[in-house]
A and B are shown apart, each in its own frame.
Chain A
């Protein structure tokens, strides 16, 4: 709705703009941008419509955009999927696992990253700058190097088929600390100094003065860490082998057959994985952009 309104407004303005060639240039630019936008979004739209088709229709030539016959029951069949050796509500279960895992990671990261960031931004302690520089350096270490020892280590701890190997290493991340440290440094010190003189502890000033002021940065980190956990594939693939424990990203593999995939279910599962982060993104797109831009500051 808002988009249509905007379009009208711009059309009105375009007619008011005088130079002819500039107008043609602008029109061309919009045309290119619009075509690109469509190109970037088309795969999602096509996939969404395919969730209402039969496998036969998906595999027929030429491919259709809209379903010949809308099979709404695909969605309920996917929701009620049964898998041998798994509990009966396996699909909602994957969804639930993905959600609570993401929430745990978000809460943990917001707390531990902000705590460390406060220390890096405000407190004086020996080795602070070296540790901070070391932390930034570790962000360039390819994660593939810790894949095997990680697996071996977690196997020794008997952590395979538990959520610990996924949660514990991502309780606190260099990126999160970096993002929040940069933000905390922009908050004026005077605010805390008054509280400190009144005898408030460091933790208290962090908790009741800095955190409320850092809301935009916390939201940014919260969104990015939610997305990271929700989209995580490698961790669950390595450590969660029982269907009941799996998250949506790896559970979907059950819809891939040896020879033929169960296409409607596969695409519906894909939509369940895509839609929450897309909604989050459209609601908070400003924060996404800020997060990405501050990742750029590092260079």
Chain B
């Protein structure tokens, strides 16, 4: 009896000891996340209901929802939302398509697969600063993009990053000027930044598709070939459905990333020309650092939460919409 109880007690204390060790091991993570994520999130929520400035040179008051109302009626903020909506829509779509096509092109029995994969992926490891600086050079009025266009007989004097003309102003005949930033469509400068980012993020997502493609058993294709299915048919009926989880992942990651675009704007255009490349992230940044005396931290936080809500909404739709089709 006595022996049994000591065994049980020591087993119990072993378990407790293991639990304590576990918590000690994850303590650094818990502290960092508790303070810098959960803590700051709660703090952000709190600030968003006050007229707090980022400089703390005066006492602040609770203002209820007025920051949120102000954000949603602030034309500058609404412009940035329109900009970033077009950006996310076009970039996410194009880079997903590009990534799948490139992955399919690479996923076959071939030599130098590794070599090509390495070459394609290389631009993705460079920083946003590197990419932005290089494309500042390429997009110069006397730059290589214009030169290339000139060589194939297209206009070669576009000032890419200074052109505020909207897409729909350009492609709809007879339309001169559309004042609504959403209906105007992305400006030429904004589309130039989109093209750059599509180009540099395709390889990252290509790798994810490639990993997923390699998991598809080859027998599926063999069976389909025996049944006389064409390559195109196989792509739409076997490859795409099996890639569904990867599509969800890529779309969600891309949506989260594109809605928050910041670095490229801060480096290349500072939101110009005519606010057509300004994004919520960039606007919030200028709010924090305060252009002059109007550092409105409360308003900035409200804007950040509105943006986060929009991102959650779209990623939720993507998960729902694509995963639902599985059933």
Q: Which residues of A are in contact with B by a Cβ distance under 8 Å?
A: 3, 6, 9-10, 13, 26, 29-30, 32-33, 36-37, 40-41, 43-44, 46-47, 50, 58-63, 112-113, 115-116, 118-120, 123-126, 128, 131, 135, 138, 140-153, 155-156, 168-169, 171-172, 174, 177, 202-203, 206, 227, 230-234, 237-238, 249, 252-253, 261, 263, 266-267, 269-270, 273-274, 277-278, 280-282, 285, 288-289, 292-293, 295-296, 298-299
Q: Chain A contacts of B208 at CB under 8 A?
A: 292-293, 295-296
Q: Chain B contacts of A252 at CB under 8 A?
A: 129, 133
Interface residues on B, range: 35 or more
Interchain CB contact under 8 A, B105 and A32 = yes
Closest Cβ of chain B to A252, distance in Å, is 6
Interchain CB contact under 8 A, A119 and B25 = yes
Q: Is B256 interfacial (CB 8 A cutoff)? A: yes
Interchain CB contact under 8 A, A140 and B142 = no
Interchain CB contact under 8 A, A59 and B142 = yes
Q: Chain A contacts of B15 at CB under 8 A?
A: 124
From B21, B56, B266, residue with most partner A Cβ within 10 Å:
B21
Interchain CB contact under 8 A, B301 and A61 = no
A205 to B161, CA, bound (A): 57
A120 to B21, CA, bound (A): 11
A146 to B73, CA, bound (A): 23
Q: Is B184 interfacial (CB 8 A cutoff)? A: no
B interface SS class:
helix
Q: Chain B contacts of A135 at CB under 8 A?
A: 29, 33
Q: Chain B contacts of A128 at CB under 8 A?
A: 22
Given A232-B127, A270-B133, list of 7 further CB < 8 A pairs? A63-B144, A149-B47, A171-B32, A206-B25, A267-B134, A270-B134, A296-B212
Q: Chain A contacts of B287 at CB under 8 A?
A: 148
Closest Cβ of chain B to A127, distance in Å, is 9
A9 to B112, CA, bound (A): 11
A47 to B140, CA, bound (A): 13
Q: Chain B contacts of A274 at CB under 8 A?
A: 126-127, 130
Closest Cβ of chain B to A291, distance in Å, is 9
Among candidates A46, A152, A155, residue contacting B47 with C-beta atoms closer than 8 Å = A152
